[in-house]
Structure 1
Amino acid sequence: MKVLGIDTSSKAASVAIMEDDKLISEYTINNNKTHSQKLMLIIENMFKLNEMSAEDIDLISVCVGPGSFTGLRIGVATAKAIAHVRDIPVVVVNSLEALAFNMAMTNKTVCPMIDAQKKQVYTCKYSWDKDCLLKVEDIDVKKVDDLAAEFKSSCEEFVLVGEGVGLHKEVFENINNVYIAPNSHRTSRASSICEIGIQKFKKGDTKTHYDVVPYYIRKSQAEVQYEEKMKRLKEDGK
């Protein structure tokens, strides 16, 4: 079974192809180009380099968020389109579990973070039980200062991953029971998306392309501003 993994939840775009337990190819670009400019080029180049096409793919594993609103829409739409054309199942993976997967087998509690703007992050906590990744806290939006206070008051040891860590490194780097993952482990990898996807597929946890939607948690800033504007107009019209 060949799996195509797609992640556009952050600034980086990552795509991988995995066949059963073998990683065939992985491509990550973390530059200033938009996902609409680079995602399909990455996929097309990977297929070309591996002498493959979409016809060879049996399963799509896609990161649905939380993360960049625009990036998620592009990644999810691409996954849905390929799955629709091929009539193959899709597995959805959230961006935080994908990041936590980068720290496989650690005995520390893994705390992934994705920027949610205004000194806040999307976050939760995971732990490893042998080779199983377990969620120990639901996904939420937290202020970085509140999260730092939470670490300081805990007896556990934490390892931090994700782009949100780099943006707020000065808040966390001097906390005794906190370890910041190296740069190579802080960006989500599509190979992790593939592996998690295979695990979920074996459990029967799949969707059709009709059922796959981005996981936003909260409204975008544009939606919030629009609702505030409409509220003001309504009040002015009274």
Structure 2
Amino acid sequence: MKILGIDAATKAAGVAIADETGVLAENWLNNGKTHSQSLLPLLDSLLKNANIPWADIQGIAVTIGPGSFTGLRIGLATVQGLAQVLDLPVAGVVTLDALAENLPGVPNLICPILDARKNEVYTAMYRYEAGRMTRLSPYQAVTPEKLVTELLVLKEKVTFLGDGVPVYQEFILDRMKEKAVFAPASHNLLHGAQVALLGLSKFQRGQETSIFEIKPFYLRPSEAEVKWVKTHGEVCL
């Protein structure tokens, strides 16, 4: 089955198509423009260049977060519109899971870090074993200081990747010394191909959902929710 993967949750907008044979096509753009400007043109050129009609797409996978609140809303709204018009099932993919997939075969612990602003990173720990990526810890939003403290206890080499690396690499190196390894810069941004492949795996396991049930995974409250709680004393639903 051909699955369309879409990522608008991170700095780069990415789209791809994959099936059981692997990745069939991919478009990826990191030009600083808002994803509302770039996502649909990327999709249009992807299908045209791959000569794949919409009728051949059997499901859509999309990153649900954590990541940019604005990007998440753009990505999910785009997917919900497409899925409704085309009557397609959808599957949500966690950004950190997709980012970790950039490093198959790496023997160290793998730690994707996304810049969450406010001196925090979105992160989780992974290990590639038995031919698959396994998550070892909960998803969390933490300060770099807390993350490094937790990792030093493990006394293992850790390979970092993600858009948080350029922001915190110097700090991590200073604290972890030779225990810190950094992926090539080309691996720091999430790719639609990983979203499509993880989505394909979910569809094969029957883990699809409806467009009305898929929701963003923010991991921490948005700025609007924080302000609402301060004003009203309760969570805005």
Sort the TM-score into its range (normalised by shorter chain): over 0.9
Where does the alignment leave 5 or more consecutive residues of structure 2 unmatched?
Answer: none
Where does the alignment leave 5 or more consecutive residues of structure 1 unmatched?
Answer: 232-238
- What's the TM-score once normalised by structure 1's chain length? 0.92
Q: For the residues of structure 2 that align with 1:222 and 1:31, how far apart are their CA atoms?
A: 27
Deviation at 1:230, TM superposition (A): 4.8
Between 1:83-92 and 1:135-144, the stretch displaced more is 83-92
Q: For the residues of structure 1 that align with 2:108 and 2:84, how far apart are their CA atoms?
A: 40
Verify: 1:129 aligned to 2:129, yes or no: yes
Q: For the residues of structure 1 that align with 2:101 and 2:60, how far apart are their CA atoms?
A: 18
> Among the aligned pairs, what percent are the same residue?
35
Task: Provide the residue aligned with 2:18 in structure 1.
Answer: 18
Q: Which amino acid aligns with 2:221?
A: K
Verify: 1:150 aligned to 2:150, yes or no: yes
Q: Which amino acid aligns with 2:133?
A: L
Tell me, what secondary structure is at the counterpart of 1:137?
A: coil
Contact 2:11/2:189 (<8 A) preserved: no
Q: Which amino acid aligns with 1:222?
A: A
Alignment of 1:28-47 (within 5 A): 28-47=28-47
Q: Which amino acid aligns with 1:217?
A: L
Q: For the residues of structure 1 that align with 2:117 and 2:223, how far apart are their CA atoms?
A: 10
Q: Which amino acid aligns with 2:91?
A: V
Alignment of 1:199-218 (within 5 A): 199-218=201-220
Deviation at 1:192, TM superposition (A): 0.7
Q: In the TM superposition, what whole-angstrom CA distance separates every residue of 1:150-207 from its partner, at most 9, and x where no partner exists?
A: 2333212211111112211111134221111111111111111111111122111111
Task: Provide the residue aligned with 1:195 in structure 2.
Answer: 197
Tell me, what secondary structure is at the counterpart of 2:203?
A: helix
Tell me, what secondary structure is at the counterpart of 2:110?
A: strand
Q: How many residues align?
A: 231
Q: For the residues of structure 2 that align with 1:218 and 1:149, how far apart are their CA atoms?
A: 21
Higher relative contact order (CA 8 A, sep 6+): 2
Alignment of 1:54-93 (within 5 A): 54-93=54-93
Q: For the residues of structure 1 that align with 2:60 and 2:160, how far apart are their CA atoms?
A: 28
Between 1:174-183 and 1:1-10, the stretch displaced more is 174-183
Q: Which amino acid aligns with 2:132?
A: C
Task: Provide the residue aligned with 2:185 in structure 1.
Answer: 183
Contact 1:35/1:71 (<8 A) preserved: yes
Q: In the TM superposition, what whole-angstrom CA distance separates every residue of 1:117-161 from its partner, at most 9, and x where no partner exists?
A: 111111111112221221110001111112122233321221111
Verify: 1:49 aligned to 2:49, yes or no: yes
Q: Which amino acid aligns with 1:162?
A: G
Runs of 4+ in structure 1 over 3 Å off: none
Coordinate RMSD, CA, aligned? 1.5
Q: Which amino acid aligns with 1:100?
A: A
Q: Which amino acid aligns with 2:71?
A: G
Q: Which amino acid aligns with 2:97?
A: E
Task: Provide the residue aligned with 1:7 in structure 2.
Answer: 7
Q: For the residues of structure 1 that align with 2:38 and 2:134, how far apart are their CA atoms?
A: 33
Q: For the residues of structure 2 that align with 1:123 and 1:131, how far apart are their CA atoms?
A: 22
Contact 2:113/2:161 (<8 A) preserved: yes
Q: Which amino acid aligns with 1:88?
A: L
Contact 1:151/1:177 (<8 A) preserved: no
Q: For the residues of structure 1 that align with 2:22 and 2:147, how far apart are their CA atoms?
A: 37
